[in-house]
Every structure is written in structure tokens, then in C-alpha cells.
Amino acid sequence: MKFTLSWLKTHLDTNASLDEIAKALTNVGLELEGIADRAKALAPFKVAYVVEAKPHPDADRLRVCQVDTGSGIVQVVCGAPNARTGMKGVFAPAGTVVPGTGLLLKAGQIRGQASNGMLVSMREMGLGEDHDGIIDMPADAPVGVPFAGLLGFDDPVFEIAITPNRADCLGVRGIARDLAAAGLGNLKPLAVAKVPGGYKSPVGVRFELPEAGHCPLFVGRHFRGLKNGPSPKWLADRLLSIGLRPISALVDITNFFTFDTNRPLHVFDAGKLKGGLVLKPATGGEVFAALNNKSYTMAGGETMICDDSGIVSMGGLMGGSTTGCDEKTTEMFLEVALFDPIRVAMTGRHHQVLSDARYRFERGLDPAAVIDGMEAATKMVLELCGGEASEPVVTGAVPQWKRSYTLRADRCATLGGLDVPAAEQAKVLSSLGFTLAEKSGGFEVEPPSWRADVHGEADLVEEVLRIKGYDAIPAVKMPRDTAMPPLALSPGQRRVRDAKRALAGLGLVEAVTFSFMQASQAKHFGGTNPKLALANPISADLDYMRPSTIPNLANAARRNADRGWPDNALFEVGPVFHDPGETGQRIAATCVRTGAAVGRHWGAAARNVDAFDAKADALALLQQLGLSVENLAVAREAPGWFHPGRSGALKLGPKTVLGYFGELHPEALKALDIEFPVVACELFLDAIPAPKAKGGRQRPSLKLATLQPVERDFAFVVDEAVAADAILRAARSADKALIAGASVFDVYRGKGVPDGKKSVAVAIRLQPVDRTLTDEDLEAVATKIVAAVAKATGASLRA
């Protein structure tokens, strides 16, 4: 939000300095982002007197000017048609940068004549669109003085950040009200006189809306006999100061009230309207030609303003090009309406329309100021454009906004930490427009119509505290119940931290994505619960709570690949959502890999990532979190977004699923618009059992085996459907004290193995503890292993 000091003083009677205003703005919650001092930026450009302007000897449209800059006579070659002897203009010396064009001026030759600077136009100074000639200063302007102050361009421009709840401060008057309450002056009264209408409006308005909430109130007024020319200088200067381009008096009036009193308006050229106006929802497929020279196809449900020819305005966002006002406009219809904030926001997001009107409507406008806004705009239209106004056309009614809350006198102290006398509280709230009635122990407070963000006693306390100043709240030490401070992190929080460190140690890069995603993609990853759809998403493609982090990371990998980085290893530890209940949120550690696992190298064969890379990430993380991975079972129970033959579930016992790993299903990749393989793993940290508590904090002593380990290989013939993990688990269970490890090193199908069977070769590592193993010991262990595997899987030892 931008405004100038002089604009602020039209609403605030104050003698406060720039520094005092700047400090007060931030103190009351209107964070100051900067103050632009245009006079300082324009200081090098000074008033100059053209002593002589004669035609260029070698160019018909150029003049060679002798210019008195106040510090000497310089020669300037100028092409402006109004350059003449005896005039006063604005001189830009060599070495300066022209603000409007960014051009660095240098002394040089133009058609053989020396030119040592430039006589500039308003557009070249960045102060308007006038480029028909150079700036023509008043005859009494002193030579050598910076021109900015003489033309009123020395007005400081404030820029502040407005939080979404403070829609009332999107107008200069709202800012002035807060500053007045903070003691920086007095708020000037805003008297809005009723302008009588001289005739009945020929343009009618009717609603064909399914609900009154789409547009509770629409006020219009017809004007005739207008002369729509350029705006007066004061109005054009105000708009230019905040970065808006003056267009015409009628359009500029709407922009002025948008920023002055936070009251967006719209003007239709009534001569271009076909019949009356109808407000109705779009059915879908209609095409709307907007004022920004773009066309929009309606999706259905948008609030449209139509005439007999079709859509003429997208309610609360932008008017149409077919009914826009121009210099030929002689009759106009003024729109002052109240549109539903949520519907305006959703329409703007869907069509990606950003406008000053949308920015205000979607935050909520003052429902009681619609009529006053129409009267104030009517007065200015008649003053600047002449003509005659009709009687107002009012459709709908002002929605109910009045409400009241109890404010206990001691709540500022007990809730906010600052003891404010009751009289001071009443004074602050009254200055902000609240209505108070005394009651036992406090007040009954009615918020003003422009403060839709106030919903209870806590908000009233906040209003008092921000005006009194948060700096006035005394610092108080937090009480400590014990001599030692409590643990800063809970076990769950420590597990999240440890998981991030472990995954980073595996070479993955942490990513932080939105907790939302596109609903059309979410349904491919288990997102089928309609209760997880967002009612008011921040973006049209972020409208569903993510059921998995995999699609967000896969999309990040796709964007990286599109930019020439196909080899990705990303992880994120964060929440995933299954339902809106208390147990519907889980903390997941998710990894995604794409591209090459081993790049091209003379010493090793290249290969792309596969499901086993994802499995390795999952097992490594579980081991780092203190879980014995030998106790895990791998089952073919991965959800549908994983490839059915290249994925698995990690289970602890028959029921506890710790997570999933594998390659993503081609249909899931298609939904994400990904054309290359993606492998992923997702572990649920809250499903991993906590490590068993050990006595004391001292680490156990390291136990190293003193005897050589022994390895024995076995080849088992099993049915094709038997998982290798089942063979390993059975082998390890044969003698848990002696068997230190088991791993698969070969799988064979072919000659010597019956159809429907496979040969799985397993390496068993035996670690003796108290004595060297004899042949008899080894034979006994081998017999146990074969028997255990045969019993569990039906395997036979391959001959």
C-alpha cells in the first residue's frame, strides 16, 4: 500500500515528522517497507533558461539551444517541438541517468553539433505519459533550482505492508485513523453529502443469483451530459505518486477512491450498454473480453455482470473492454457493489486475474460504506466532468454486520501483560471507531463496520495493546519449576531431527514443499477423502492436503530434469494427511531418486536407479533410527501408486507397516507428467517403535569377535512365488546365536531348474564366540538351516 504525505494529511491533521510517522506506522502494526524521497532522486534536474533556440543546420526537426543552467551556458541539441527562445525547462546534465528511460547521458555530437545534456519531458522524468514536448516551467521559476519542489514532486511516498486481516488500511483514511489513535494528530471528519438525482436511471439492475451472499448489495447511478477529459493536476499527481497511470477523469476517479477510502468502483460507458444490467453466475463456456486486453473463458459459478449482449464485467475483479469509458463518453453508469470475498478470491485465482479491486474485495470491504461511496463518487464526477446524475439504483440490502463483545477491564493485564486503565482502553477503542457502553467490570464493545477482523475479547485487547505500544509491555522472566531446564525436544521431534540428519548423510538433498497439492494428482496417491479438499486454497493447483509427500518431491525432480538436472536425490520429513480427525495426520520421511545411480565411468558399468536403491534408503534410515532391520519382513503390499512388481512394504510383525519402497507406477507418473522412472520410499516415523531403554547413559562396551567367521553358501530351489526375504528370515532363525548374517547373491532360472521354480543362492555368515567350529559343528548348523528353510518355504537343496 502506497500513499504520499500530502495525501495522508487530507485525512489527518498532524505536524508529526517523517520519522515520527514512520515509527508510529510500524508500532501500530502497519509495517513500513520504505519511504521514497522523490525530491532527492530528482535533485540533479534543475530549472534552466533557453537563451537561444535556432534551427539545426543539418536537421529540420532539431534545434540548437543555448541553455543557462544557473552555473553557466551549455549547448543542447533538442528535438522537442515546443523548444523555443525565452522558455524555461528542465535540464539534465551529462553524467546523469534519465529516470523514465534509464539512459545515461553523455556529452557528444548530434549531426555535427555539440550537445552537453538534455531538456527533458515529463515521461522522461518518469512523472507521466506526456512526451509531446519538453517540460515548460513557469516564467517566474528561478534558474538553477531543482524543479521537483516547484512542481510538487517533493512529496515523500510511504509504502507499508498490510496484513490480510487489516483490509480497512488499504485506504489512506484507515491509515490516518490508526495514526490518530496513536496520538499523531486528529482524524479529519469525512462529511458525505447526499447528491439529489435529477431523473430516473435508464439503466436498471436485477439479481439472478442463487444466493444473496454472492452480491448482497449493488448500488448504481446513471450520469449524462459528461465531458470525460484528462484529470486535474492534483488527481493525476496523486495517482502518479503511487505508480498508477492517469487515464481519464472518470477512470481516475475510480482509482482514487480505491486507494483513498478503500472503496473500489467501476464505470460503464452507458452508451455502449445493451439494456439493463443483470448479476448472475456464469454457466461455463462464456467468453469475457476484459479491460486488460485479455479474454477469459468462464468455468462456471463466477459472479458476472451482464447486459443483453453478454458479460460486461467480472464482478469484483475487472470490467469489460466493450463498455469501457474513453474520451468520447458522455453518459456513464457508476457501479458501487459488495461482492462475496471468497467467490472473488476463487474466481481471481482460477483465471489468474490480479487487480486492485480483487485485492480489496477478497479481504472484505466496509458493508456500511457502499451508499456513502456512491455519493462521494457522484460529487467528484459532477465537479470534474459536469453533467447530471440520476436517482440511485439500489438492489439488495446492507448485510447485518453489527455485533458486540464484552471486554473485561482487567483482560489487558491478564491476557496482554500490560495494565491499561479502563478509561485509557475506552479512549483507544473510541478513537478507532468502536462504540462502547459501560457495564459492571468492563465494557460492551461494538466494532465498527470496517473492522470485520474483530471477533472477540482477545481482539479487543490486541487493539488496545497495539495502539498503546507493544514496547510498553514489561519483560517478565518465565517461571522455572525445576533447577534443570526441561528437554527442548520431545522424542518425536528428536526422531524427525535424526531422520533428516541420516538422510542427508546418505547423500540426499532436503526439500521443503507445500503441505498441499493438486487434487487431480492427489487422487492417484490415495487422496480420495473429500474432507481434505481446501475451501479457500492459496492457489488453484494447491487445493488438497497431501496424502503423500512422494508427488511433491517427484514434481520437484521433474522441474529439475526440465532444467537439465536429471539425476536427483531428494528427501523431505513432514506431515501427510489421510482424514481430518485427530489420528489422520502422520509424520513421514520420504525419499525420491531419479536418473543415474551410477554414472558413466571407465571403472564401473553405468546404471539407473531402481527399487533396490529406494529399499536401501529405507533400511539405512531405519537402522540409523535404532531399529534392527533383520527383524523386518518385506511384503508385496505396496499401495497402488507403486509398480506392482517393483515395490514392497516394510513390516514389523504381521500388522505393523513401517513404510513402502519401490518404483512408481506408470499411471502415477503419467498423472504427474513425468516421462522417466522414479523410485521412492516413504517411512512413517510414528510407526517405528522407540528403542528399548538401557540402564544409564553410558554407551555399552564394544564387543569384538576373537575368532574367524565362517561363510557357507546354499542354493535352494523354491517356487517362483516364494520371496527371497522369506528364505533369509528362515535361515537366520535356524541358529540365532551362531548365524551373524544372511544375504542373497544369486538367483537362477534355466537349465537344471524345473519350470515354475527358481534357484536362490544364499551366503550364510557364521560367527563363533567361544571356540573354533569343527566340521561336525558346521554340518549340524547346515542341517538346521536347510531344515528351517524347507519348513518355511518348501525349498529343497539344489544338487
Which H or E element spans position 137? none
Return the C-alpha cell found at 229: 477529459
Mean pLDDT of the chain: 92
Per residue in 61-116, pLDDT (tens digit) is 899 999 999 999 999 999 999 999 999 999 999 999 988 888 899 999 999 899 99
Among 360, 376, 396, the domain-final residue is: 396
Q: What is the CATH number of the domain that holds 717?
A: 3.30.70.380
Q: What is the CATH number of the domain that holds 453?
A: 3.30.56.10
Q: What is the CATH number of the domain that holds 48?
A: 2.40.50.140
Distance, in Å, from the CA atom of 48 to the CA atom of 413, rounded to the nearest integer, reads 63
Same domain flag for 561 and 604:
yes
677, 727 contact by CB (below 8 A)? no
81, 132 contact by CB (below 8 A)? yes
Q: Is residue 200 part of a domain?
A: no
Q: Is residue 199 part of a domain?
A: no
Read off the amino acid at residue 185: G
Same domain flag for 216 and 243:
yes
CB 731: neighbour CB atoms within 10 A?
Answer: 26
The confidence score (pLDDT) of residue 252 equals 96
Per residue in 695-713, pLDDT (tens digit) is 556 667 777 888 899 999 9
Position 693 confidence tier, pLDDT thresholds 50, 70, 90: low
Between 174 and 191, whose confidence is greater? 174
Among 396, 428, 443, the domain-final residue is: 396
Return the C-alpha cell found at 290: 476484459
Which range (199-203, 331-335, 464-468, 479-483) has the least confidence? 479-483
The confidence score (pLDDT) of residue 538 equals 87
Whether residue 442 is predicted with pLDDT greater than 80 in this model: the reply is yes
Same domain flag for 446 and 353:
no
4, 172 contact by CB (below 8 A)? no
Q: Is residue 479 part of a domain?
A: no
664, 524 contact by CB (below 8 A)? no
Between 38 and 279, whose confidence is greater? 279
Output the DSSP codes for 242-267. TTPPP--HHHHHHHHHHHHSS---EE
Q: Is 492 helix (H, G, I), strand (E, B) or coil?
A: helix
State the residue range of the domain holding 297: 205-396
Q: What is the CATH number of the domain that holds 342?
A: 3.50.40.10
Same domain flag for 358 and 439:
no
Same domain flag for 454 and 527:
no
Per residue in 729-744, pLDDT (tens digit) is 899 889 988 998 899 9
* Residue position matching grid coordinates 556529452: 107
Between 799 and 174, whose confidence is greater? 174
Per residue in 210-233, pLDDT (tens digit) is 887 899 999 999 999 999 999 998
The confidence score (pLDDT) of residue 695 equals 57
What is the average per-residue pLDDT within 256-272? Answer: 96
Whether residue 486 is predicted with pLDDT greater than 90 in this model: the reply is no
* Residue position matching grid coordinates 480505491: 258
Environment class of 736 (CB within 10 Å of its CB; exposed 0-12, middle 13-18, buried 19+):
exposed
The confidence score (pLDDT) of residue 704 equals 81
Distance, in Å, from the CA atom of 713 to the CA atom of 690, rounded to the nearest integer, reads 35
Q: Is residue 705 part of a domain?
A: no
Radius of gyration of the chain (CA): 38
30, 169 contact by CB (below 8 A)? yes
The confidence score (pLDDT) of residue 86 equals 93
Q: What is the CATH number of the domain that holds 662?
A: 3.30.930.10
Same domain flag for 85 and 138:
yes
Q: Is 142 helix (H, G, I), strand (E, B) or coil?
A: coil
Whether residue 479 is predicted with pLDDT greater than 90 in this model: the reply is no
373, 456 contact by CB (below 8 A)? no
Whether residue 492 is predicted with pLDDT greater than 90 in this model: the reply is no
What is the average per-residue pLDDT within 360-379? Answer: 95
Same domain flag for 457 and 501:
no
Same domain flag for 622 and 497:
yes
Q: Is residue 253 part of a domain?
A: yes
Same domain flag for 183 and 263:
no
Q: Is 390 helix (H, G, I), strand (E, B) or coil?
A: coil
Total domain count, the chain: 6
% the chain with pLDDT above 90 = 76
Whether residue 780 is predicted with pLDDT greater than 70 in this model: the reply is yes
Whether residue 152 is predicted with pLDDT greater than 90 in this model: the reply is no
Q: Is residue 484 part of a domain?
A: no
Distance, in Å, from the CA atom of 650 to the CA atom of 658, rounded to the nearest integer, reads 6
Q: Is 161 helix (H, G, I), strand (E, B) or coil?
A: strand
Q: Is residue 692 part of a domain?
A: no
The confidence score (pLDDT) of residue 788 equals 93
Same domain flag for 142 and 126:
yes
Q: From start to end of 69-107, where are the E strands?
A: 73-78, 88-93
Q: Is residue 780 part of a domain?
A: yes
Same domain flag for 360 and 301:
yes
Q: Is 305 helix (H, G, I), strand (E, B) or coil?
A: strand
Same domain flag for 86 and 228:
no
Whether residue 140 is predicted with pLDDT greater than 80 in this model: the reply is yes
284, 300 contact by CB (below 8 A)? yes
Per residue in 4-60, pLDDT (tens digit) is 999 999 999 999 999 999 999 999 999 999 998 777 788 899 999 999 999 999 998
